[in-house]
Amino acid sequence: MRFELNFRSGKPVYLQVVDQVKAAVASGAAKPGDALPSIRPLAEELRVNRNTVAKAYSELEHQGVITTEAGRGCFISAADSPLNKDARLQLVTEEMDQAVVQAHHLQIDRDEFVRLAEARFDAFALRRTAMR
């Protein structure tokens, strides 16, 4: 599982982690029983404080998304069925709408906007394969 953090978005980092784990579960990419990265290495990789990762995991446990087993690690709990395609598209649509709104205020036209969508998607895909 890979996390993408944006330190400038104003959204608390621990919530970004929470939301990304929940998204992975919702899509079926993370399945019940899968292990999450342990706190210390993940904190180092993300360059955030251990407390921040711990808070995210604690919140996830509180929401019933994961269970922590002392000394062993954190695991995805037996969870709700993953969301169907429409529901997942709906969640991405909410993010996309934010980008559309920003584009309107900054006078970015349709061509540029679509080119940007392609370019950024490809840039992320490339980074992922490169890290394998």
Partner DNA sequence: GTGGTCTAGACCACC
Partner DNA sequence: GTGGTCTAGACCACG
Footprint of DNA (CB under 7 A): 10, 12-15, 36, 38-41, 47-52, 54-55, 57-58, 61, 68-74
Which listed option, DNA, its own copies, none, makes contact with residue 82 (CB within 5 to 8 Å by class)?
Answer: its own copies
Which listed option, DNA, its own copies, none, makes contact with residue 129 (CB within 5 to 8 Å by class)?
Answer: none
Which listed option, its own copies, DNA, none, makes contact with residue 132 (CB within 5 to 8 Å by class)?
Answer: none
66-69 and 73-76 strand pairing = antiparallel
Q: Which residue has the tokens 């955030």?
A: 48
C-alpha 4/C-alpha 20 separation (Å) is 8
The answer to whether 54 contacts its own copies (rule: CB under 8 A) is: no
C-alpha 90/C-alpha 97 separation (Å) is 10
